[in-house]
Structure 1
Amino acid sequence: LIGGCVLLALVVRRLLGEALLARLQNPFDAASVVLLLIFAVAIMDGVADLFLRDPWHVLQFVLAAFAANIALQLVGAAATAAMGRRPALTVGFASGNRNMGLLLAVLPADSLPDALLFFALAQLPIYVLPAVLGPAYRRWQAGRESPDG
């Protein structure tokens, strides 16, 4: 799934060229936002009904999704701290914000409902945490750039 997308991106980049891609950046960005919105709405199908029936069950998975995202960010940043602040924060951010919704595309149809619920709700921190943690990221980035910083 990912490899095919990377290959397609390389082919498109080669065919269109850097100059045209630069001119098309805003339309591509807008299309990405629309596609992400469609994906987010589709992946949450049934979550509202489940929340109305069993809110605590859904909230536990929301908390687990946020905890997993933050933990993966911390592990990724800690593992690459020797590279300096900016690379460590970048790796940490990317480590926590894995689009686990892609796993839904390859999971068997008879997967456990709770696994499907977790992968759907794991999208929430991807959308929320960058806005919430943005000031902290900027503050940490403004610190010393030394590898021990």
Structure 2
Amino acid sequence: MDFNLETFLPYRLNQAAERVSQRFAAQYRARYRMTRPEWRALAALGTYGRMTATEIGGNSSMHKTKVSRAVRALEEKRWLKRSEDADDRRMEHLELTMAGRRIYGEMITLARDYERELSQLLGATGLKQLEAVLAAIEAKLPPVAGRKGPQD
């Protein structure tokens, strides 16, 4: 069997995504002592506002245990608050506190700076080519039913 993992497209895409993600994670980890699941939960709440843990998991492609740990950590940092659903006491709504919104704003600045750095690394032509390839992949390969993405 002739198979080279290093040239297998899904493997290469995953490796590239992981490198990009790890480099950004190193920045927010050093600055805020935040994990990737915490960043994803914070970003989801900052972007979309009040959500349930289930909605955060669906939005960020995280398993419910990762969401639960991230929510607990953000709550301990006082960046997130919980409120019970008026109609269903089993459900909690989550939203950023004032401190959480401030951190989210700082994180967006950090994210934009990182995105600019990546854009400069690729150059205008390379960035347009990458965006076109990603758009083509996303358009031609819809998510598998019942699965929204990696279960980080």
Q: Same fold (TM over 0.5)?
A: no
TM-score, normalization by structure 2: 0.32
Q: Which has the higher helix share?
A: 1
Q: Which has the higher strand share?
A: 2
TM-score, normalization by structure 1: 0.33
